[in-house]
């Protein structure tokens, strides 16, 4: 006879095969029927401990939904509810790549509650060795290993979906949380050497893209932001440019949408030389609303076509290949670093020489126009303009010297 226990403690009995079994009610289904589960052990004491733990765990799970999903089923539901309505098209492609090409083919059939840290760790290790997918109508792969960066991306997706599974009481813990993911092997970023900025812009002028490339080097805009600019975004009087949209190819069509992140919507201050160049560019096509219309269509440039023209320009001047995206990094890295160090030095040392140097830098960025003397940075509001002022890079100065 099974041993009687108090309500909520389950019951324990010895089976005919000699093992001990503990049964408990994990919950009730939609029809009010009890959902009964069991634990097994060699001794009564072992089962008693297991039963107590199982009952505690059952309180953390949804008895109706827990155990009803495979990883594939949960991934698809999670994506449709938590991801698809909230992310941009390019981000959706990132999720689809991780889910459809990597996670589902290897782990999709595993029950959510049966998924272990060991399985996931082995999955990551296999991706590193041979995780690259051969796509249709693409040249045969020469390298089958997946980069550490891509394995990290897969982990981000899997970790997020399992965290939500815990919150939905489908599983007790996230088995991906403590998996070891590979570290990035940092590659030195290739940037256009200062000595080649002049030749690059001369070649860009031959291709009719001097204005956009000059603006890119002096502002660090993303490619989609650069090509989506309209004449109305430029305020000639205040020398400001409003960044509020981006163009990208989606399902074969060019689509203009909001920038990558909310913080990407911004207004930046331009040097006087840049404004003059943009005005001259607009005068070449005064009826076109776009700042840099495609000479072929009159609409926005195809971002991929513009990138290929950049690649050709780099090749023509004999430079080592520099990705278009990396053209913005000298602006982002060097200018921010140089001006941050200068401002930090000024904050720490409020003496005339530091004051003179900082004021001189600001005047250079304002096109030589003087303002009231620079004051110590204890009053930060007076220097609220400096972060984006600092983005008027040393590259601008180098370009100006070489074009004269």
In the chain, where the domains are located: 11-58, 71-134+143-167
The tokens for 231 are 């004449």
The tokens for 64 are 């109706």
pLDDT of residue 371: 40
Distances (CA, A) of 321 to 180, 303, 328, 346, 402: 34, 18, 14, 38, 21
Q: What digits encode the pLDDT tens for the residues 69-85?
A: 999 999 999 999 999 88
Dist. CA 347–CA 352, nearest whole Å: 12
Q: How many CB atoms lie within 10 A of CB 106?
A: 18
Residue 214 neighbours by CB under 8 Å, 6+ apart: 201, 204, 274, 277, 399
Q: How many CB atoms lie within 10 A of CB 336?
A: 15
Q: What is the reported pTM?
A: 0.59
Query: β-pairing, 266-269 with 240-243?
Result: antiparallel
Residue 320 neighbours by CB under 8 Å, 6+ apart: 190
Query: Which residue, 235, 237, 291, is CA-closest to 267?
Result: 235
According to CATH, the topology of domain 71-134+143-167 is DNA polymerase; domain 1 (1.10.150)
pLDDT of residue 229: 94
Distance of CA 109 to the CA centre of its chain: 29
Distance of CA 184 to the CA centre of its chain: 15
Kindly tell me the burial class for residue 67, based on how many C-beta atoms sit within 10 Å of its own C-beta (0-12, 13-18, 19 or more).
middle
pLDDT of residue 32: 63
Dihedral, CA of residue 352, residue 358, residue 362 and residue 367, to nearest 10? 70
Distance of CA 395 to the CA centre of its chain: 26
3-state secondary structure of 232: helix
Residue 316 neighbours by CB under 8 Å, 6+ apart: 203
Question: How many residues in total does the chain contain?
Answer: 404
Helices (H), 207-250: 210-219, 223-227
Query: β-pairing, 34-41 with 20-28?
Result: antiparallel
Residue 134 neighbours by CB under 8 Å, 6+ apart: 140, 141
Dist. CA 3–CA 174, nearest whole Å: 35
Report the DSSP beta bridge partners of residue 243: 266
pLDDT of residue 190: 78
Report mean pLDDT in 10-residue bins for the chain, 404 residues.
55 86 71 75 85 74 77 94 84 89 93 93 92 70 80 94 90 90 77 84 90 87 92 92 89 82 84 89 92 91 92 92 78 45 42 40 40 33 33 42 45
């Amino acid at each position: 006879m099974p041993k009687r226990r108090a309500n909520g403690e389950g019951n324990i009995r010895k089976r005919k095969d000699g093992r001990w079994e503990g049964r408990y009610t994990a919950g009730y289904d939609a029809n009010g029927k009890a959902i009964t589960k069991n634990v097994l052990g060699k001794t009564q004491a072992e089962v008693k401990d297991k039963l107590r733990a199982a009952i505690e765990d059952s309180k953390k799970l949804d008895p109706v939904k827990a155990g009803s999903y495979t990883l594939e089923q949960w991934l698809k539901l999670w994506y449709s509810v938590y991801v698809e309505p909230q992310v941009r098209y390019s981000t959706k492609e990132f999720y689809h790549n991780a889910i459809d090409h990597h996670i589902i083919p290897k782990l999709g059939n595993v029950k959510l509650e049966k998924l272990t840290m060991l399985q996931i760790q082995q999955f990551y290790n296999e991706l590193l060795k041979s995780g690259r997918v051969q796509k249709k109508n693409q040249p045969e792969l020469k390298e089958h290993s997946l980069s550490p960066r891509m394995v990290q991306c897969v982990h981000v997706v899997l970790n997020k979906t399992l965290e939500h599974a815990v919150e939905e009481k489908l599983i007790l813990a996230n088995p991906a949380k403590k998996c070891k993911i590979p570290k990035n092997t940092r590659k030195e970023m290739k940037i256009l050497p200062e000595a080649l900025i002049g030749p690059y812009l001369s070649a860009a002028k031959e291709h009719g893209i001097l204005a956009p490339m000059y603006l890119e080097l002096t502002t660090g805009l993303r490619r989609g932001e650069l090509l989506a600019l309209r004449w109305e975004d430029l305020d000639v009087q205040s020398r400001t440019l409003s960044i509020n949209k981006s163009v990208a190819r989606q399902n074969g069509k060019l689509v203009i949408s909001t920038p990558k992140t909310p913080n990407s919507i911004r207004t930046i201050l331009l040097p006087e030389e840049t404004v003059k160049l943009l005005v001259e560019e607009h005068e070449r096509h005064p009826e076109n609303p776009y700042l840099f219309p495609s000479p072929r269509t009159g609409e926005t440039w195809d971002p991929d076509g513009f990138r290929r023209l950049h690649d050709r320009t780099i090749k023509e001047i004999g430079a080592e290949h520099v990705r278009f995206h990396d053209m913005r990094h000298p602006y982002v890295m060097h200018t921010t670093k140089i001006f941050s160090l200068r401002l930090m030095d000024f904050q720490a040392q409020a003496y005339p020489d530091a004051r003179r140097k900082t004021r001189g830098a600001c005047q250079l960025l304002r096109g030589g126009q003087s303002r009231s003397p620079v004051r110590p940075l204890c009053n930060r509001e007076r220097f609220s303009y400096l972060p984006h002022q600092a983005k008027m890079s040393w590259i601008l100065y180098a370009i100006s010297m070489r074009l004269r």
